Chain A
Amino acid sequence: MKVTVAVLLVYVHTAGLLFDVPRLNILNETIRALYFHVPMWFGMFFLYSLSIYYAIRYLLNPLEEYDIRSVEFAHVGTAFGILGLLTGMLWARYTWGAFWHGDPKQTNSAITLLIYLAYFVLRASLENQEQRARLSAVYNVFAFAAMIPLIFIIPRLQSSMHPGSGGNPGFNIYDTDSSMLIVFYPAVIGWFLTGYWIANLRIRVRKLRLIDIAS
């Protein structure tokens, strides 16, 4: 998996910076952010989905392993979210003129990160391991449900300057030039795998520590 990730991401970075891109008004060269910014959000959502999946598994069958998996996927997902926000801010600096523009998409993604930071605060303030695992699993499910309207419903109700909404030239899969897709799809897969790989490393370290303590 490591090798696949390395190959994919090296390809994405060279191709993403060198290949030809369609010329669109305002966006110009910044359209290349599609290869680096959008996969971060996809990756975040993918990792949070895994996190909630293991949270539900934990509630149904309380094994410590599920708890470790749930929290580590949330950790890496949050890292992806922060990177997504930062790359988005960088992009906004050059197209909208300011790092922080108060666009609904920016605000709502910041709130999403707040929700997951609250999840970590909750974990930190519970001492009993079993209680921490169960309560944070409950909050994880609840937080994920609260995140869905923030990301998918509310931005569509408000006017936004983000590409893909309100008639702005979009990064929509449908109107993205097919020459971009040959970089975009590998980028998404590459970052998914990267996230999964990092999370798995962390999970294995946690499990080894657990064995260490037990012996």
Chain B
Amino acid sequence: MSNLLVLLRKEFTLELRRKSVISGIGLYLFSLVFICYITFNLRQNVISPATWSALFWLVILFSAVNTVAKSFIGEKPGALVYLYMTAGAHEIIISKILYNFILCLLLALVGYGLFTIFVKNPVTDQTVFLTGLALTCLGFAASLSLISGIAAKARNSHVLMAVLSFPVLIGILLMAIRITKNAVDGLEASASQDELLNLLAINLISGALSYLLFPYIWRS
């Protein structure tokens, strides 16, 4: 447990120390939102809620994949060996998932804010939407952390990261889009309960699998 906290703190310290990375991700997100804004010329409010949710989730998906990708890709080999000697595989994967979850959530919230400013905000039921957003981020973090570990071992790992993760994430994304639709249409919260539970179940499965499978990746 204390190891876990130390690992988490290490992630945050490193992240804050390399400010170029985090600002790079922020700029990436901002550019994506801005591209959406310009290509659709969205000021006239012509965008339908369906398009809004498609654009929003695409932006979040792309930035999340890029953010989590760097959790194993691009780490110095020396740092990985040091980690391997000092901490257990289970602790590392849990700390990575938690850390990536927090990062993804921050990213998604900032993205939501940017969308509100530049595009618009058709969401009527904030509670359902934000719960869905948090659960989706958890699912992204749980699956992507493991996949990043796999991709880091291969050649051209950035391409591989996208290829491996997109099909796996589609299940989560479909649920997220359904929840968004419900939240935009302003249905009562009980209507989205099924989807939220499904999302939770998918998260639990991918989290458990990451936890079980990570030691096999880590050993090499």
- B150 contacts A138, C-beta separation under 8 Å: yes
Given contacts A118-B167, A134-B216, A153-B198, contact A125 B156 (CB under 8 A): yes
Nearest chain A residue, comparing its CB with the CB of B168 = A146
Given the complex, which residues of B lie within 8 Å of A143, measured CB to CB? 167-168
Given contacts A126-B153, A134-B220, A135-B150, contact A146 B171 (CB under 8 A): yes
0/1 string, A120-150, CB within 8 A of B gives 1:
0110011100110011011101110110011
Given the complex, which residues of A lie within 8 Å of B194, measured CB to CB? 157
Among B65-121, those with CB < 8 Å from A are none
Given the complex, which residues of B lie within 8 Å of A150, measured CB to CB? 170-171
- B167 contacts A154, C-beta separation under 8 Å: no
Judged by a CB distance under 8 angstroms, whether B213 is at the interface is yes
Distance in Å: Cβ of A208 to nearest Cβ of chain B:
28
Judged by a CB distance under 8 angstroms, whether A38 is at the interface is no
Judged by a CB distance under 8 angstroms, whether A210 is at the interface is no
Judged by a CB distance under 8 angstroms, whether B182 is at the interface is no
Given the complex, which residues of A lie within 8 Å of B167, measured CB to CB? 111-112, 114-115, 118, 143, 146
Bound complex: CA A143 to CA B146 (Å):
12
Judged by a CB distance under 8 angstroms, whether B163 is at the interface is yes
Bound complex: CA A130 to CA B153 (Å):
12
B156, B160, B166, B213: the one contacting A142 at CB < 8 Å is B213
Bound complex: CA A121 to CA B156 (Å):
11
Judged by a CB distance under 8 angstroms, whether B154 is at the interface is yes
Nearest chain B residue, comparing its CB with the CB of A153 = B198
Given the complex, which residues of B lie within 8 Å of A154, measured CB to CB? 171, 174
Please report the total number of A residues contacting B with Cβ < 8 Å: 28
Distance in Å: Cβ of B171 to nearest Cβ of chain A:
5
Bound complex: CA A143 to CA B213 (Å):
12
- B216 contacts A138, C-beta separation under 8 Å: yes
Given contacts A114-B167, A157-B194, contact A122 B154 (CB under 8 A): yes
Bound complex: CA A44 to CA B156 (Å):
30
A112, A121, A130, A157: the one contacting B160 at CB < 8 Å is A121
0/1 string, B145-168, CB within 8 A of A gives 1:
011001001111000100110111
- A131 contacts B153, C-beta separation under 8 Å: yes
- A145 contacts B206, C-beta separation under 8 Å: yes
Distance in Å: Cβ of B65 to nearest Cβ of chain A:
13
- A122 contacts B216, C-beta separation under 8 Å: no
Nearest chain A residue, comparing its CB with the CB of B178 = A157
Judged by a CB distance under 8 angstroms, whether B205 is at the interface is yes
Judged by a CB distance under 8 angstroms, whether B202 is at the interface is yes
Given the complex, which residues of A lie within 8 Å of B146, measured CB to CB? 138, 142
Distance in Å: Cβ of B176 to nearest Cβ of chain A:
12
- B170 contacts A111, C-beta separation under 8 Å: yes
Judged by a CB distance under 8 angstroms, whether A79 is at the interface is no
- B153 contacts A118, C-beta separation under 8 Å: no
Judged by a CB distance under 8 angstroms, whether B187 is at the interface is no
Given the complex, which residues of A lie within 8 Å of B206, measured CB to CB? 142, 145-146
Bound complex: CA A130 to CA B163 (Å):
22
Distance in Å: Cβ of A132 to nearest Cβ of chain B:
9
Judged by a CB distance under 8 angstroms, whether A59 is at the interface is yes
Given contacts A138-B150, A142-B146, contact A149 B216 (CB under 8 A): no
Judged by a CB distance under 8 angstroms, whether B217 is at the interface is yes
0/1 string, B199-210, CB within 8 A of A gives 1:
000100110011
Given the complex, which residues of B lie within 8 Å of A131, measured CB to CB? 153, 220
A125, A138, A141, A142: the one contacting B154 at CB < 8 Å is A125
Q: A residues touching B (Cβ–Cβ < 8 Å)?
A: 59, 111-112, 114-115, 118, 121-122, 125-127, 130-131, 134-135, 137-139, 141-143, 145-146, 149-150, 153-154, 157
Q: 25 A-B residue contacts at CB 8 Å?
A: A59-B216, A114-B166, A118-B167, A125-B154, A125-B155, A126-B153, A127-B155, A130-B220, A131-B153, A131-B220, A134-B217, A134-B219, A135-B217, A138-B146, A138-B213, A139-B147, A139-B164, A142-B147, A145-B205, A145-B209, A146-B168, A149-B198, A154-B174, A157-B194, A157-B198
